Amino acid sequence: MKHIRNFCIIAHIDHGKSTLADRLLDFTGSVTDREKQEQLLDSMDLERERGITIKSHAIQMDYIYEGENYVLNLIDTPGHVDFSYEVSRSIAACEGALLVVDAAQSIQAQTISNLYLALENDLEIIPVLNKVDLPSANPEVVSDDIVDLLGCDHSDIIPASAKTGLGIEEILAAIITKVPAPSGKIDAPLRALIFDSVYNPFRGVETYFRVINGSIKKNQNIKFVATGKNYSADEVGTLRLKQFPREEIKTGDVGYLITGIKDAREVKVGDTITDAKNPTTEAVAGFEDVKPMVFAGIYPVDTEDYEELRASMEKLQLNDASLVFTPESSAALGFGFRCGFLGMLHLEIIQERLEREFDMTVITTVPNVSYHAYTNKNPDEVLLVNNPSDLPEPSTLNRVEEPFIKATIITKADYVGNVMSLCIEKRGEITNQTYLTTERVELSFDMPLAEIVFDFYDRLKTVSRGYASFDYSPIGMRESKLVKVDVLLNGNTVDALSALLHIDNAYDIGKKMCEKLKELIPRQQFDIPIQAAIGAKIIARETVKALRKDVTAKCYGGDISRKRKLLEKQKKGKKRMRQVGNVEIPQEAFMAVLKLND
């Protein structure tokens, strides 16, 4: 056990984690020349296309240091704020972390939040200054920033370049000398933490675990503590580039387990595996439950695919435990699911994965957040409102509370004005402003979560020319004046387009929604009124004009009453058509509501 080291790599997005993982694999000889490729651990097509890590990947390496063989278990983590749940799970399975900072971009918001996660779990932090070979690198200044943040010495920081392989040997030496070996009792009953799982269509659910006490053998009878079910360990092994079956995985090591489970709901990430005959008395204190930030409805285009969509979502949930969903139905779209996501990028990725991996074409409704409503009847009872249509009638409503967040934005001093005006426009209140250096400022705001759901991140990047980094954490619910804005098409409410908005923004957004829908809804044989309403009060209206045939073309001269008669006849036909006519809403219309500022 003293020769095992478990560590992860944490950093802000695009600071070179995946490339550093590649170099470590090359240097330890874990990958043959034939298997080599850039960003080797990012195996998903989506990850490679976008150049981001979505899923944390575990891999084992062997390394000889001062004549002794060491086993290094590396878990690569994502850097985007939407995938911080993946990071928290990886950290729970490790004793040490490489904190990677880009020498050109310095410390960013996500670096700091991931660092706090690691420190809460008492991990040994090894600071690595990456990309020192870039012409724009500023290693001296960034080193001072790291020293201020961590309180370490300049000598502790390892200068490296993942592209050229500079400093890789020093990093491996630091992992072996500084990261503590796993502590655990080999003779105690089996106790292992599940930190990830993947669905394999041929072999069922593959569970990734870290053994804390005892050991797990092939064909052993095991039990999952949370579900209380027993299984036989058909195959256990370690995770190299491919899976390596073993007879036994001992204390402190990381491995995979195949039990032939076919039902996705039976494996809970964060659960404890123990021995069926001699179970452990205490489960592993798992990492925190996931808190979805953004809710949206996902519906199959064809209602008959509902069950298939459910199966696809369950398999996807295995691969991404931060996805939460419950069934719901909508008058406009039929049966579907109300899903919780960690942010807009997460929503986009899930939608894309459903289409690519499971061939499901889905409609996504307007994302919103979760509110608390209180009625006059019993003002102490909390009603959870995940969907605008769940909001009680305005006459019975006492108050509505919405979730607030503490937003931390780190930007260059030149863009402070732009960033502040954006946050104030989004109902933010500034709580703190700190100059980290003469050039870099950290701004703290209290903001409603609903305001950052849509386009906040994109607009922040625009106003700061890409120099601002953003991170947030929830700070609880606060009372707000919110109203429900409904969209009516041809006099009928479209529940999928309803939104809960602050009273100050309701008129503007209602007007913009009507204008946007007017562009997107195709013309019919009859006039389509598009209205935005608060309760019974219409606040904005646009009309999609009817397609008309020129019925008076055959009248040459003659009395005007002949023309009028034909037009009146046409008018009656249009009126009847409008009563029975049905307006189809294109998928773009649901998503366009998010891009009202474009």
Query: Which residues are annotated binding-site positions for GTP?
Result: 14-19, 130-133
Q: How far is Cα 100 from Cα 256, in angstroms, rounded to an integer?
A: 27
Q: Edge to edge, what strands does the sheet with 158-159 contain?
A: 57-65, 68-76, 4-10, 96-102, 124-130, 158-159
Q: How far is Cα 577 from Cα 573, in angstroms, rounded to an integer?
A: 6
Closest CA to 178 of 254, 99, 92: 99
> How many residues appear in the chain?
598
Query: Binding site residues, as ranges?
Result: 14-19, 130-133
- DSSP assignment of 210-269 equals EEEES-EETT-EEEETTT--EEE--EEEEESSSEEEESEE-TT-EEEEE-----GGG--T
Q: How far is Cα 404 from Cα 385, in angstroms, rounded to an integer?
A: 15
Q: How far is Cα 190 from Cα 23, in angstroms, rounded to an integer?
A: 34
CA–CA distances in Å: residue 493 to residues 209, 393, 529: 49, 15, 12
Closest CA to 385 of 517, 535, 499: 499
Closest CA to 452 of 431, 423, 475: 423
CA angle 91/95/100 to nearest 5° reads 65
- Helical (H) or strand (E) element with 31: none
Q: How far is Cα 583 from Cα 527, in angstroms, rounded to an integer?
A: 11
3-state secondary structure of 112: helix
Q: How far is Cα 100 from Cα 16, in angstroms, rounded to an integer?
A: 8
Output the six-digit token pair for 369.
């957040």
Residue 182 burial (C-beta neighbours within 10 Å; 0-12, 13-18, 19+): buried
Q: How far is Cα 152 from Cα 437, in angstroms, rounded to an integer?
A: 18
Q: How far is Cα 265 from Cα 263, in angstroms, rounded to an integer?
A: 6
Identity of the residue numbered 547: L
Cα-based torsion angle of the residue sequence 435, 436, 439, 445 in order, rounded to the nearest 10 degrees: -60
